[in-house]
Amino acid sequence: MAVEKKDAEGFLTIDYNNLTAEVVGPGGLTPEDLASLKEPLAAAVKDLTSRYRQGLLPFLDLPKDAKLAKQCQKLAQSGREKYTDILVLGIGGSALGSTAIYSALQPLASRSAKGKKGYPRLIVADNIDPEGFATHLETLDPQTTLVNVISKSGATAETMSQFMILFDWLKKKGGKNALTENLLVTTDPTSGVLRQIADDLDLVTLPIPPGVGGRFSVLTAVGLAPLALAGVNIEGLLAGAEVAASDGLKNSPSNKAALFAGLNWLLTTQKNRDNLIFIPYSDALAKVADWFIQLWNESLGKGLKLDGSENLLAQTAAKALGATDQHSQLQMWMEGPANKTVLFLGVDKLRTDLKIPAIFKEHEALAYLGGQTLGQLLSYEQKGTARALAENHRPNLTLTLPTISPQTVGYLLQTLEIATVISGTLYGVDPLDQPGVELGKKFTYGLMGREGFSDYFKRYEQGRSAKKKYIVQ
Ligand code: PA5
């Protein structure tokens, strides 16, 4: 059974022909495999619905929060004249969503030097490499920059150290009202040291709903405020996400989030395909891959199942970019270990295209290019690569957006968030926590001399001296 799911009026198409045994041969999903999905998937969607009804999945209600959207729009209207730049300080879930959406919806080609149509430019400073971070201090004007510090916990070392530097910068160079005019704090409404500082100093704040985890928070003030300021149509984004939320709660074969989760779960658990390579064929969507791999990996890479038993199966997501990585990673996907699924993300109609001039007709190796467009070439490279992988018995899956628009991007991101939660149920793990990242943070605190973490400093030193003989200089 070769299947193509196409919703003519939809925001997203999932084509999984190239996952089926009928197309890729051994290693593909058989009709029996696909039939076996029905029951667990129905149970997982039921679980999703029941948890949603109990108020345990508030990210699904975010698209309907008209009050927040209005608040962000108001902020954006007053900010457009005032600011040349919005500098977001945040990391992980506090940074990747706004980066993905800004890149998708305000691509470089549509921005002027200072931002599209006079909108402030959005810069998301997630990393703390001083070489990179220092350039912001050198190039930005503290009088016309809005610094938006975003941290749900209010304690993340990377973000808070950036905040301390920028707070000082604004205070010294931003003019007398800088702390009220050029600083926006997005954090938990009641807890955390950042909230305490903001309340003590009467800073302008926006809340992150307590029940929404970082990687599910792009449609809270975390993403909406900076994106609205930078000119993104957040209403469109929310409208697309709202349709996705309603679709994702349906127990129906047209539930794309469930289908996506179920197919990948089958590939991982039945076919040893425990790597998922996400390859958008669009520069504007490249950052969606960064956002997705954090969502997938941090949510599903769990040592323990909810019942306390050891979790042995998960699918590691990695990113690539089409067509660039055809010349870098494709060889490995094609002939390397047969442990991967390639996930293509394409666009039916790109916003811009460029005609290739019909010159050098006398050269057979170039003549076929002339008169066609770069968009056609990109699209055929995607389709050709998918077919080549299939012929080589390498399962692959294609997501297609009809266009890149606020609605389709909102739909895509919300669908992938829902798929992640459904996947958690299928694997039997909690997709909403991230216990594995805590230990590294504790060692950092120990090394940085934070009170209460000296034990970790000692443990680090122990590990280091034991391994000295293995260091070559
Ligand atoms: O998805 C997550 O929960 C994490 O990636 C967090 O967003 C990240 O660690 C940043 O946390 P915070 O917003 O508390 O600074």
Our mutation pick for probing the ligand 1 site, out of 99, 128, 150, 156, counting the most ligand atoms within 8 A of Cβ, is 156
Please compute Rg for the chain using Cα positions: 24
Can you give the pLDDT at residue 463? 80
Number of CB atoms found within 10 A of residue 423's CB: 25
Can you give the pLDDT at residue 201? 96
Cα 254 from chain centroid?
A: 23
Of 6, 327, 467, 468, the catalytic one is 327
Where does 347-405 have alpha helices with state H?
A: 364-367, 374-391
Averaged pLDDT of the chain? 94
Stretch 92-115: mean pLDDT: 82
Q: What is the pLDDT of residues 201-211, one digit of tens each?
A: 999 999 999 99
Residue 468 pLDDT greater than 90, yes or no: no
Q: What is the pLDDT of residues 212-237, one digit of tens each?
A: 999 999 999 999 999 999 999 999 99
Can you give the pLDDT at residue 229? 96
Predicted confidence band of residue 464 (pLDDT cuts 50, 70, 90):
confident
Q: Where are the domains of the chain?
A: 8-53+249-427, 59-236, 435-470
Residue 1 pLDDT greater than 60, yes or no: no
Stretch 62-82: mean pLDDT: 94
Stretch 246-269: mean pLDDT: 96
For ligand 1, say whether the CB of 287 is within 6 Å of any of its atoms.
Answer: no
The answer to whether the beta carbons of residues 224 and 97 sit under 8 Å apart is no
CATH number of 8-53+249-427: 3.40.50.10490
Predicted confidence band of residue 473 (pLDDT cuts 50, 70, 90):
confident
Can you give the pLDDT at residue 430? 97
Q: Mark whether 441 is an active-site residue.
A: yes
298 CA: nearest ligand 1 atom: 1
Q: What is the DSSP string of 151-195?
A: ESSS--HHHHHHHHHHHHHHHHHS-TTHHHHSEEEEE-SS-SHHH
Q: How far apart are CA 473 and CA 469, in angstroms?
A: 11
Stretch 37-59: mean pLDDT: 97
Residues whose CB falls within 8 Å of the CB of residue 318, separated by 6 or more in sequence, listed in order = 275, 276, 277, 278, 293
Burial zone of 357 (CB within 10 Å; 0-12 exposed, 13-18 middle, 19+ buried)? exposed
Stretch 346-362: mean pLDDT: 96
Q: What is the pLDDT of residues 307-342, one digit of tens each?
A: 999 999 999 999 999 999 999 999 999 999 999 999
Predicted confidence band of residue 461 (pLDDT cuts 50, 70, 90):
confident
59-236: CATH topology is Rossmann fold (3.40.50)
Q: How far apart are CA 444 and CA 447, in angstroms?
A: 5
For ligand 1, say whether the CB of 195 is within 6 Å of any of its atoms.
Answer: no
For ligand 1, say whether the CB of 398 is within 6 Å of any of its atoms.
Answer: no
Can you give the pLDDT at residue 113? 53
Can you give the pLDDT at residue 340? 97
Say if pTM beats, i.e. exceeds, 0.85: yes
Predicted confidence band of residue 7 (pLDDT cuts 50, 70, 90):
very low
Q: What is the pLDDT of residues 430-455, one digit of tens each?
A: 999 999 998 999 999 999 999 999 99
Of 82, 171, 393, 441, the catalytic one is 441
Extract the tokens encoding 399.
């997501």
Can you give the pLDDT at residue 8? 39
Stretch 16-23: mean pLDDT: 98
Q: What is the pLDDT of residues 43-52, one digit of tens each?
A: 999 999 999 9
Can you give the pLDDT at residue 86? 97
Stretch 363-381: mean pLDDT: 97
Q: Using the mean position of ligand 1's atoms as its centre, give its distance from the Cα of residue 216 in Å.
A: 10
8-state DSSP, 122: E
Predicted confidence band of residue 6 (pLDDT cuts 50, 70, 90):
very low
Extract the tokens encoding 25.
């041969």
Shortest CA distance to 273 belongs to which of 396, 423, 391, 387?
396
Q: How far apart are CA 62 and CA 70, in angstroms?
A: 13
Residue 5 pLDDT greater than 50, yes or no: no
Can you give the pLDDT at residue 467? 65
Burial zone of 39 (CB within 10 Å; 0-12 exposed, 13-18 middle, 19+ buried)? exposed
Q: What is the pLDDT of residues 268-298, one digit of tens each?
A: 999 999 999 999 999 999 999 999 999 999 9
Q: Using the mean position of ligand 1's atoms as its centre, give its distance from the Cα of residue 465 in Å.
A: 32
For ligand 1, say whether the CB of 297 is within 6 Å of any of its atoms.
Answer: no
Predicted confidence band of residue 4 (pLDDT cuts 50, 70, 90):
very low
Can you give the pLDDT at residue 352? 94
Of 298, 302, 319, 417, the catalytic one is 298
